[in-house]
Each structure stands twice: as structure tokens, then as C-alpha cells.
Structure 1
Amino acid sequence: MAAATLRSVHRHNILLPFFKTCRLRDLFFFSSSVDPAPAVGVTISPDPNFMVEYLVNSCGFSPSEAAKFSKPLARLRSTEKPDAVVHFMRSQGFDGAGIRKVISRNPSHLCVNVEKNLAPKFQFLRDLGLSESDIADAILKNDFILRLDVHRSLVPRLEMWESILGSRELVLKHLKKTRWFFFSSVEKTLNPNLKFLRDECGIPEERVSVVLRSRPQLISQKPESLRALVARADELGMPRQSRMFVRTLNALHYVTQERFEAKFELMRSFGWSESEFSSAVRKAPTFIGMSLDMFRRKVDFFINVVGYTPSFIADKSSLLLFSLQKRVIPRFRVTEMLKLKGLWTGKYKFTSILLFTDTKFMEKFVLPHKENVPELLDILRVAGTWKGNYTLHLASEDEEGLS
């Protein structure tokens, strides 16, 4: 079903819901309900540097920042357009910091015509169902929206992403939270990347969509960059038919080749072979995204404290995904304390214990011994974990005792 949806992206007979309530000409020839900035007080100056003073006095930039951001505005000889833009942005819920952020990313926004260029973009976002604060969030994350044409760029990208992600809600979520979400061209980037993954790599579109719902940046990159990622995944021996292939691409997308090689060299110093490193990545690709320092600390703990061999960690690389401070260390200390007190049954392996939920871990290894081994609770308090669960359990037991 998802495949059919993706293939229908360019069917012009598919109309988005917001078109039912807003005609196209209303978007393209929108007349803002907000009055333009009043002409009174407009500054006209032959001095090209007068915009420095304007950015300081009207927008709150420092003199050095104003000098930097005024360069693209050198052609302006009047504050009429900047005044109108600033006035309009304020009327749409932007505070001073938000306006400065938009200007700093692209000072030329101050040169546009509010009614012809800015207002249609805001109307487009309102028609999607975004609130005033949502629109501000979306533009602060994706200010290039203010430079895109509604009909030629915004509508096709909305259609494309809604087809890929499967819902308007996910589109709006990423629009508000994901930087550069609407940046990539449908014709030059999104379609070629999807076609490449589907036709040349043989990856079902449904499988691609699952990853893109949380990480849409994977297909927003340049087609040549995506091809390079596929080549890197191939070098690791990851079968393209594997369900982990797209997840591996996503993990590699956030790790440069240099950082990737640095992790490999680190693991070689711990005794991993190249084949073991590749196997570890194939089984749990996201571990390559952690910092080198955290990577080193986790491997060191599992080898030198827990006692695992490098080969065992390579085979169970998902161990590296657990939080060292909040899960691995406190749970290991709890098991060691139970062994010290002669209360350890040896029924569970440590790898299995790491998989338990917080509540299940408390019920099996902590609460049964809280009276005789109160140190267990101290271990968890120091780690800062399960405080709420612990309180909940004690409260329920006290109530039972009172009854």
C-alpha cells in the first residue's frame, strides 16, 4: 500500500485537504490581514552603512553583528521594507530573538515584499493547521521556507512527504522540529533517492518509510551522497535485502568516514578484527554514532570489569547501546552485591539482566532484598534511576501492611 502511495506522488488529481478550504489564487495572491508597517518614521539615507544603525536600534543586534549582517542589505536606501518585515514578523508572534535568528540566517529577508512574499508562506502554514507558535517553530527551524514559492515548491514537497510518512501529523511534527526538512527538491533529490533505493538497491518502499518516519534526513541528502552511503554499507558486508540495511545507512549518515575509521582503530586496540568490527556494526549499527570517549568507556567496562572478551562484545554489539551510567554499571553492581551476600542464584546471565525493564529488574533483584541488603537501593539512588518506581513500590507495600 505504501508503495502505491509513493508512486502516486505526482498525480495532479490528488488534492490536499487544505485546498478544499483555500483556493490556489488565495495562496498566490494573498492579501494580508495585517496592516503593513506605517510609513511614518521610515528612514531614507544615501549612506549604505545606515542599515548598521537600523539593525542595532530596531532589531537589537550588537554593532559587530549589525556590521556583518548589513552587507547583503547594502542596496537598500530606505527602511521601508525592513520596517514592514519586522512589523509583520512581530504581528505573527515572533519575539526579538526569533526575528534576529531569521535575519542572521538570511539578512535578505528584510528586502522582501511582505504581501507578495512573506504573507503567502504564513497563510500556507496556517492552512495546514499550524498554530501561531507552531509556525514560528517551523520557520525558525526551516527559515528557507520564506524563500520558496508556495505553488512550485511548498505544495509538491508537502505532497511528497505526506506520501512518504503516511500522515499529515508526522509531516507537521518534522516541520516544527527537524532542521532543513522542506529544503530538498522533489525532482532533484527526493524522487531520485527513493527510486535508487527501490529500483537499484531492491529495498521495499515500506521498509524505507519506517526509517524515514523518525529520520527523514536519509533521503534529503544529495543523491551522490546517498550512493556513497550505500557503498559504505556494502563494504561492511550488509546484505541489501536485510531489514537492517536501511538502518545501517541511517547510522552511517550521521558518522563521517573519519569518525567511523577512528572507531575501528579503537576497537582494533581492544583486539577486534576487521571482520568482527563489521559484524558488530551489522548487528547494531547505531552504536557507531556514539562519541569515541563513550565508546571507549563502554568497551573498557565490559572487557576489564564485567570480563567479556572482545569477540563476545562483537557478537553481542547491542550491549553497547545501553546507558553505561544508568543501566550497565548500577545493574552490574547490584548483581555483584548479591553475589557478595550469598544471595545470587545465577539463574540469569548479565546480558539478559540488561534487557529487563526497570520495573522488572526492581521486582526480581532489588525489592526482595531491600531489608537485608539496603545497599542495593543506595546503588540505584547514586545512579539516579528508578526513584519513582521505588517510591511507588514502597507506598503500595506500606498500604498493604496497614490494612
Structure 2
Amino acid sequence: MAAATFRSALRRNSLLPLFETCRLRDILFSSSSVNAAAAVGGTISPDPHFMVEYLVNSCGFSSSEAAKFSKPLAHLRATEKPDAVLNFMRSQGFDGAGIRKVISSRPNYLCCNVEKNLAPKFQFLRDLGLSESDIVDVIRNNDDILRRNVHRSLAPKLEIWESLLGSRELVLKHLKKTRWFFCSSVEKTLHPNLKFLRDECGIPEERVSLVLRSHPKLISQKPESLRALVARADELGMPRQSRMFMWTLDVFHKVSKEAFEAKAELMRSFGWSESEFSSAVRKAPTFLCMSLDMLRRKMEFFINIVGYTPSFIASQPTILLYGLQKRVIPRFRVLEMLNTKGLWTRRGNFSHYVQLSNTKFREKIVLPYKEKVPELLDILRAGECEGK
């Protein structure tokens, strides 16, 4: 009725200035939408700022938070849709804190159509086998899911991630704990990155998958960023056929060029040459992920206490990967005590004993001497406590 009246008014007033015509249209359609809202239900207010009070009273936001989050909702004049959204989320197990987290991320969720926009996403997650509490956790961490189309976006992403990670269980594990997991575009990001690694870099997909199971974010970055990481690995002299190549890309994804250079400079200060540093990174790239302070402390311990030369450490960089307080120092103390008591003459290479599993170290080194040197177990336990 309002639209017909508007068209009739336009015919009768064809010479009206354009701004008057637009004003008439806005008045008629605004009136129509308010009347429709009144017919369905919900609170109606002519006050453009009434959503501030609504967010305080219905969601529990503070006044300052509500003022901030109400800005994208300034066009609303009725609470019909926000009421429906909040009621739906509460029915799905969301508490007040969960609702506030989702709404603060994107206030426009309060404008969604529950049946068309929200319910299908919840059903999709239920069909994956997630419980109600799991779904709440997933959406709290990945509220972007609520913006995606189930068939055009969510289902294709599920399919490709399940293929990459090898199991739905791993997909759900990352989905529950990782905010960005379902954000990357299949067409613009995931497929191009996989094609680049497979076809241009010659990396088998199973080798890609092995790294992605622990660090899926590597494949979710922009294609140009991934290419830049490959270029850095090439500059280091890392062969693309090496099994460490993908792990090196993952490390470079976490370690900026600036941080890389700072650690290179630190190792040079201990006497490493450029070739020794590059060789160590190729063998054990993950040592670059530790802080400068920890890297310095480990080098000082192995050089000053154990007696290793910097060149030896460069040739055996995996020893830098083990916990200093919890593993390296306690084991060194155990072997030193056995040596001082004349019970351990086959000292061998300490790096070998660092790399033994906890069970093997106890079986081979501690338990055979527990009667003569009962404090050995106390040394190990003390180290475990310090490392916590």
C-alpha cells in the first residue's frame, strides 16, 4: 500500500525537486517498516540511540561498550530481530559472556534472520558431531562462521581441511581452539597455496599435511606471503626436497626477518660463522622460535658448564631444542654426581643423554644406581619442579 501511494505521488509530482522526492520515499518506507515491526512484535522507538540502552539491559554491556557497539545498529528502530537473535543464542547454550563476546566482535549479528542466517550454521556444526558446549566454544572462537554460507563456504572448507589434516577429529580440534581456522578462502588462498607447494616447489602433499596437522596456519596466509617464505628458505640454502623444508617455512612464518637477524647476530657473538648458522638452521630450524634470552642461556650453559665448543653446538643444534631447567641441567647434574662418586666412567657424549626419553634416561642412568645414590631421583624431580 505504501509503495503504491509512493508511485502515485511521483506521477502527480513529477516536477518536484529530487531531494523532496527522496524525502517522501524515506518517510513512506520508514513508516511502512515500523508498522511491520509493530505487527510482528518487539519494542519500537523513534530514538536513534535507543540501542545503547538495549545493549545494556539485554546483553549486559557497560554504557561505554554499548555506545561503541551500537553504532553499526543505528539504523534499527525496533528490537524484533535483536530479541530473536538473543533468544536463539540463549537457547543454544550461550551465556551472557558468550553472547557479549560474539556481539562485540560484530554487532551486526543482532540484525541477522535467525532461520535463514543463524540456524543453518548451528545445524552444520551439529552435523559434524559437535556437542552444544563444543558449538558454543567454536562460535566464540570463530564467530566468522556465522557470516559464511553453509554450502558455498563452510562445507568446501571442511572438505579441504579434512583432506589436508587426514581426519575430521583434527579439523574439529583446530576449529575449537583456533579463531581464524575457517576464515581463509578456498579459491583465493588454500587451493593456490597447495598448488604452489606441490607443483612449483615439488613438495609431496603428505609432507605438507604432516606440518599442517600441527601448524595449519601456514597454508592460510596470502599466497604472496607464502612465496616470500619460500624465497627466504631458498636464500638459506635449504633444499626444497629436504624433509625440513616445510618446517623451515613454518618457522619463518613465526619468526620475522628482524628476529631472524637478531638471533643470527647472537650466534655470531658466540663464534658461529655464517655457514655454521645456516647449517644449524637447516638441521634444526625450530631453535629460532625460542627467545633471545633463552637461546643465550642455553649457549652459555653448553659452552661454560658442559664445555662444548660453539662449533660443536652448531654441528648438533638439536640439543638447543630441549628444556634447560627441566631436562638439560638436571641430567647434567645426575651424570656429574655419578662421575664424582666414580660410578660413571663411560661419560660419552652428553648430547646423547640429553636426547634420551625420560623413561630411557631413568632406566639406563638413574635406576641402576638408586641404591647407592638415592638422591639422583631427587635431582630429576627438582628439575621437573623448577621447569613448571
TM-score where L is the length of structure 1: 0.82
CA distance in 2, matches of 1:335, 1:48: 75
The letter for the 1-side match of 2:243 is R
Cα distance in 2, alignment partners of residues 236 and 92 from structure 1: 51
Count residues with an aligned counterpart. 349
CA distance in 1, matches of 2:169, 2:371: 49
2:83 aligned residue: 83
Answering whether residue 155 of structure 2 is matched by residue 155 of structure 1, we say: yes
Question: Match for residue 381 of structure 1?
Answer: 381
| 1:151-300 superposed matches below 5 A | 151-300=151-300
**Counterpart of 1:48?**
48
Deviation at 1:40, TM superposition (A): 10
Cα distance in 2, alignment partners of residues 385 and 368 from structure 1: 23
Where does residue 127 of structure 1 map in the other structure? 127
Task: State the Cα deviation string for residues 224-280 of structure 1 (Å, max 9, x = none).
Answer: 000011011111110001111011111111112221111112112222222211111
TM-score (norm 2): 0.85
Rounded to whole Å, the distance in 2 between the matches of 1:106 and 1:41 is 24
Q: How many Å separate the matches in 2 of 1:117 and 1:250?
A: 36
**Which residue of 2 is the match for residue 113 of structure 1?**
113
Paired letter, 1:246:
M
- Cα distance in 1, alignment partners of residues 262 and 230 from structure 2: 20
Q: Report the Cα offset of residue 334 of structure 1.
A: 0.8
Stretches of structure 2 that go unaligned for 5 or more consecutive residues are 1-38
Which amino acid counterpart does residue 65 of structure 1 have in structure 2? E
Do the aligned residues in 1 keep the contact of 2:251 with 2:285 (CA within 8 Å)? yes
Letter in structure 2 aligned against 1:75:
H
> Which stretches in structure 1 are left out of the alignment for 5+ residues?
1-38, 387-403
Identity %: 78
Distance in structure 2 (CA, Å) of the matches to 1:351 and 1:250 = 26
CA RMSD of aligned residues (A): 2.0
Residue type of the alignment partner of 1:366: V
Deviations 1:349-380 (A, max 9, x none): 21110121212212222223333323323312
> Which shifted more, 52-61 or 98-107?
52-61
Name the CA distance, whole Å, in 1 between partners of 2:95 and 2:108. 19
Cα distance, 1:351–1:385 mapped onto 2, change above 3 Å: farther
Distance 1:307 1:98 in 2: 54
- Equivalent residue, structure 2, for 1:335: 335
Could you tell me which amino acid in structure 2 is paired with residue 258 of structure 1? E
What's 1:305 paired with? 305
Alpha-carbon distance in structure 1 between the residues aligned to 2:75 and 2:293: 49
Equivalent-residue separation in structure 2 for 1:86 and 1:237 (angstroms): 56
Name the SS for the 1:354 alignment partner. helix
**Structure 1 stretch 96-105 or stretch 74-83: which is displaced more?**
74-83
Q: Distance in 2 between matches of 1:327 and 1:355?
A: 9
The match for 1:64 is 64
Task: Tell me the CA shift for residue 335 of structure 1.
Answer: 1.0
Contact 2:319/2:355, CA 8 A, preserved across alignment:
no
CA distance in 1, matches of 2:385, 2:366: 13
What is aligned with 2:18? none
4+ long deviations beyond 6 Å: none
The residue type paired with residue 247 of structure 2 is R
Could you say which structure has the greater relative contact order, defined with CA pairs below 8 angstroms and 6 or more residues apart?
A: 1
TM-aligned CA distance change 1:264 to 1:128, over 3 Å: same
Per the TM alignment, residue 221 of structure 1 is displaced from its structure 2 partner at its CA by 0.5
The higher radius of gyration belongs to 2
